[in-house]
Structure 1
Amino acid sequence: MGDVLGYRRLLGVIAPSTNTTVQPEMEWMRPEGVTNHFSRIFVEDPVALNNEDFIAGTTAIAENTLDAVRSVMTCRPDYLVLGMSAITFYGGVQGSLDFKQKVEDVAGVGASTGAESVAAALKAYGVRTVSFVSPYYPVANAEVRRFLEESGFSVVRDVPLECKRWTDIAKVTPQRLREVIDHLDGPEVDAIVQVGTNMSMVRLAAEKEATLGKPVIAINTATYWHGLRACGIDDKVQGLGRLLAEF
């Protein structure tokens, strides 16, 4: 007998303990027969006032990730969806692959990371030039830019919102993000990307994608989509953007 509720797949979803966005947003995307099982990476909610503070905070997340992986694996999920983003971009493509390998070695199952999922989504759309917004400090935006460029994309513009606390990221309003998206857009931009998993943009991205007529990709959408497709779940989820509805 298989799992009564998760009879198609059990997904382990990993995110920082301060994150209040990944869990509800990924529930919106969950098809029938797939269940999400959340595990939190313990991290403090420090004040970040500069690049160095931000890097220290994300390093703490990286160091505690494997404990959260070990915890969620006790429910025997089929696959992991990693709902943290900054650390998955660090070190370019190779750094991203190395981080993913560490997780998979401990888990014994596959995992989708934010960085690889964004790249896969952009390739699915067939775009080349992008702009992106993050809640990060400039030092982390530089890592995102490096990863995207190494993955074959040209970055036109980026905006680091420099949120002071991890919990502040969830307080960035849709109105503020609309203003940033308008700044990031332009005729030379094929797609707009949002990174930073505690910044809620799944529904706003779908809205702006419809009005702009070009891809607007929220990282939580991309990562969950990537996880579903990696597990052979091809359901088309409506109302949350073209990525889940068409690809």
Structure 2
Amino acid sequence: MSTQINTINGGRMAPKFTYDGNGDRCRIGLIFMASSIVMEAEMWAMAPKGVSIHTTRIKLPKVTVEGIQAMMDAPELEQAARLLASAPIDVLCFGGTSASFLHGTAYDQALIAKLKQWAPGIEVNTASTASLAGLKAVGAESVILATPYVDEVHNRAIRFLEENGHPVVASRNLKIDTDQALAEVPLQKTFDMICEMDTPEANAVFISCTNFLTAGLIDAVEKELGKPVVSAVQSSFWHSLRLGGVADDCPGYGALFQHGLPEVRE
């Protein structure tokens, strides 16, 4: 009776290596705000084995229309995209929701075109594009909207959703204008805000902002309300996975991960 032993050159036993987070299945390049912390952490929390996230940062002066516009007009945006594109990434994600819906759908599409020019040969998305794809994937029509934004930015979120076929039947915003303060809102406060808005007129929930804690409450809200929840971070990650050829479910982070990319009509 012989026993088969796995060996490598030199007769040594083949080692068993510990998982190290290497993105051998999909590497996602993220352009994120310098003062923000939520999106990276939530993406890593949701990430299946073999998926990695690599970030380049840009400065956001303030979470107002003027501050967001200043960030988008700065040369650092192009520099960030080109820096990420110099790495062997599979997908480039622009991780700013309000920054990509600021002036409506055409503005978001123009941003995608610029990112593709700066990062040729790499799949590209934005948080706003991914959010719309996520809403479509779960069959969302009328929605409940929760944001931490000031009124002017919140109202632009409503306009963006409605011009893309998602009437906002209930909404609340926290009127926060500093980026670090966005990340300090506790999950319980956001959970309560969403549940208090629930209405049978809405068949889905959308939570905007990529520096707003949401991943940890998605499953709880879906169970409480019995309707799908799409958040900017969750949908950006889901969309990036699908663009990168990863079809995994990510249990605990919403029904969205049970879906593939919806068909896009030209």
What TM-score do the two structures reach when normalised by structure 2? 0.84
Greater C-alpha radius of gyration:
2
Kindly state the Cα deviation for residue 87 of structure 1 after the two structures are TM-superposed: 1.2
User: In structure 2, what is the equivalent of residue 123 of structure 1?
Assistant: 136
Matched, 1:104 2:121: no
User: In structure 2, what is the equivalent of residue 20 of structure 1?
Assistant: 37
Q: Could you tell me which of 66, 73, 76 is aligned with 2:85?
A: 73
Separation of aligned partners in 2, 1:112 and 1:37: 15
Kindly state the Cα deviation for residue 246 of structure 1 after the two structures are TM-superposed: 4.8
Please give the secondary structure, in 1, of the residue aligned with 2:86. Answer: helix
Please give the secondary structure, in 2, of the residue aligned with 1:171. Answer: coil
Separation of aligned partners in 1, 2:138 and 2:91: 24
Matched, 1:40 2:95: no
User: In structure 2, what is the equivalent of residue 90 of structure 1?
Assistant: 102
Matched, 1:243 2:256: yes
Q: Is the 8 A contact 2:150 2:175 kept in 1?
A: yes
Please give the secondary structure, in 2, of the residue aligned with 1:104. Answer: helix
Kindly state the Cα deviation for residue 74 of structure 1 after the two structures are TM-superposed: 2.2
Q: Could you tell me which of 209, 225, 235 is aligned with 2:222?
A: 209
Between 193-202 and 66-75, report the one with greater CA deviation: 66-75
Kindly state the Cα deviation for residue 129 of structure 1 after the two structures are TM-superposed: 0.4
Q: Give the residue type in structure 1 aligned to 2:59.
A: F
Q: Is the 8 A contact 1:134 1:194 kept in 2?
A: yes
User: In structure 2, what is the equivalent of residue 56 of structure 1?
Assistant: 66
Q: Is the 8 A contact 2:95 2:236 kept in 1?
A: yes
User: In structure 2, what is the equivalent of residue 226 of structure 1?
Assistant: 239
Kindly state the Cα deviation for residue 142 of structure 1 after the two structures are TM-superposed: 2.0
Please give the secondary structure, in 2, of the residue aligned with 1:236. Answer: coil
Between 88-97 and 19-28, report the one with greater CA deviation: 88-97
Separation of aligned partners in 2, 1:184 and 1:82: 29
Q: How does 1:123-162 map to 2 (within 5 A)?
A: 123-162=136-175
Size of the aligned set, in residue pairs, is 237
Q: Is the 8 A contact 1:184 1:192 kept in 2?
A: no
Separation of aligned partners in 2, 1:138 and 1:91: 15
Kindly state the Cα deviation for residue 15 of structure 1 after the two structures are TM-superposed: 0.6
Separation of aligned partners in 1, 2:108 and 2:130: 11
Q: Is the 8 A contact 1:239 1:245 kept in 2?
A: no
Q: Is the 8 A contact 1:41 1:67 kept in 2?
A: no
Please give the secondary structure, in 2, of the residue aligned with 1:75. Answer: coil
Q: Give the residue type in structure 1 aligned to 2:104.
A: G
Please give the secondary structure, in 2, of the residue aligned with 1:35. Answer: strand
Q: Give the residue type in structure 2 aligned to 1:77.
A: I
Between 108-117 and 190-199, report the one with greater CA deviation: 108-117
What TM-score do the two structures reach when normalised by structure 1? 0.90
Please give the secondary structure, in 1, of the residue aligned with 2:209. Answer: coil
Q: Is the 8 A contact 2:36 2:180 kept in 1?
A: yes
Kindly state the Cα deviation for residue 199 of structure 1 after the two structures are TM-superposed: 0.5
Could you list the runs of 5+ residues in structure 1 that have no partner in the other structure?
A: 49-53
Query: How far does the alpha carbon of each residue in 1:123-160 deviate from its partner, in whole angstroms, 9 at most, with x for none?
Result: 11112100211121121122211221121111112222
RMSD: 1.7
Q: Is the 8 A contact 2:141 2:203 kept in 1?
A: yes
